[in-house]
Amino acid sequence: MPALDVKNVSKTFVEDKNKVAALDDVSFTVEDEEFVCLVGPSGCGKSTMLRVIAGLEKADSGEVMFEGKPIMKPTPKIAMVFQLFGLFPWKTAIENVEVPLEVLGVSKKERVAVGMEYIKMVNLEGFENTYPHDLSGGMKQRVGIARALALKPEILLMDEPFSSLDELTAKTLRDLVLSIWRKRYEPPNSIVMVSHNVEEAVYMADRVIVMSPRPGRIVGEVKIEIPRPRFEHRREPVYFRFVDEVMEMLGDGGHVLKS
């Protein structure tokens, strides 16, 4: 049984009284201990797909199965990291990390202990009492990652988590996420990430799923058979061969970043 099974998901929105199809009959699986990346042009429904998986949106048809059961609402076993951080400006870094634990009714003492554990994990020790307006973009995203991980989720969803950061910061955070994920004794078990950056997808994922322009459909997938850690292989021909393979699937409609 896969960790996650997306079955024939379609989703339509209403904009200015007109129906707009975001997803059309999307199906794919995510296996245990697998990192899957969805790539495709802007507006193809990638983020909508993540929100359906998270239980934040309801599909018009089809279903998403987690541990053999349909996802009907948000669950702490599936956590999400957002593109624009989504931090509460009136809360400190550690208080932001504690928010989902507070919602679950975890005691203050335990929340603080867990919060500090994950603040340290994302290398923000010393900034736990700092408010978001005094944090850099990279530091804010570290808080967002810590907040999601504090739930100890089995599946981590990431919606273009590095796209608003400068490349040096993004590279550092990519490696941080990969180092946390590769510690098999720590959650998360599997990761699903949305990206418009093909090189990023090839660098991070075990498998890249390629989506068409809206309405989003699966047009193919590429299994990335490059040993980890991949920073040792980023300048090798095999790396660029996989990048080119994904770009070819995207075709003329795939206005995404190659680097």
Q: 73-124 pLDDT, tens per residue?
A: 999 999 999 888 789 999 999 999 999 999 999 999 999 999 999 999 999 9
Tokens at residue 43, please? Answer: 């507006």
Would you give the end-to-end CA distance of the chain in angstroms?
Answer: 35
E strand or H helix that includes residue 146: helix 137-149
Q: What is the rounded average pLDDT for all residues in the chain?
A: 91
- What is the reported pLDDT for 258? 53
The alpha carbon of 77 is separated from its chain's Cα centroid by a whole number of angstroms, namely 14
To the question of pTM greater than 0.75 for the whole model, the response is: yes
Residues 210-223: pLDDT tens digits?
999 989 999 999 99
Q: Tell me which fold the domain 1-77+189-259 belongs to.
A: Rossmann fold (3.40.50)
The alpha carbon of 56 is separated from its chain's Cα centroid by a whole number of angstroms, namely 14
Least Cα distance to 195 among 39, 30, 34, 42 occurs for 39
Question: In the chain, which ranges are E strands?
Answer: 4-15, 18-30, 35-39, 61-66, 69-70, 78-81, 155-159, 190-195, 207-211, 218-223
Whole-number Cα distances in Å, 7 to 1, 4, 134, 149, 256: 14, 10, 43, 26, 26
